[in-house]
Amino acid sequence: MDVFAAVADPVRRRIVVLLGDGPLTAGALAAAFPEISRPAVSRHLRVLREAGLVAAETVGRERYYRADHGALREIDRWLATVRRQAWDQRLDALGTEVHRTRRERPAEPRTTGEERPTDSRRSAG
């Protein structure tokens, strides 16, 4: 299963977040979702395993699930592209605005080193 499809479901996203704190059993994960059945949680875990987002390890009679963040790299790369495009657009807009402002602002007269603007706040000794 595709990583994006796997995390498209809010229950699966929440499972990945819960597993970010450390391994949990299927029973512990199911307890975190009282609104859905245990078989439904198991199906969600299977989808996450197939997408490479979750790994399972059997210890005795219990199966422990842990987050496998390697598959999240694909999402990270996509997000980096989106963020870079957004920043590129913003910086282009800023450049356009700076250029427009410079064109519209009247040129200020330049002063020579001998001429100094008067400062009315200065007291006359």
Could you give the count of Cα atoms lying within 13 Å of 34 in the half-sphere of its Cβ?
Answer: 0
- Its pTM surpasses 0.85: no
User: Can you tell me the distance from the alpha carbon of 1 to that of 9, in angstroms, rounded to the nearest whole number?
Assistant: 13
The tens digit of pLDDT for each residue in 103-123 reads 776 666 666 655 555 555 555
The tens digit of pLDDT for each residue in 51-94 reads 999 999 999 999 999 998 888 888 888 888 877 766 666 666 66
- Asked if residues 6 and 12 have their Cβ atoms less than 8 Å apart, the reply is yes
User: Can you tell me the distance from the alpha carbon of 89 to that of 36, in angstroms, rounded to the nearest whole number?
Assistant: 43
User: Can you tell me the distance from the alpha carbon of 15 to that of 9, in angstroms, rounded to the nearest whole number?
Assistant: 10
The tens digit of pLDDT for each residue in 50-63 reads 999 999 999 999 99
Q: For residues 102 and 121, which has the higher predicted lDDT (pLDDT)?
A: 102
Identify the three-state secondary structure at position 33: coil
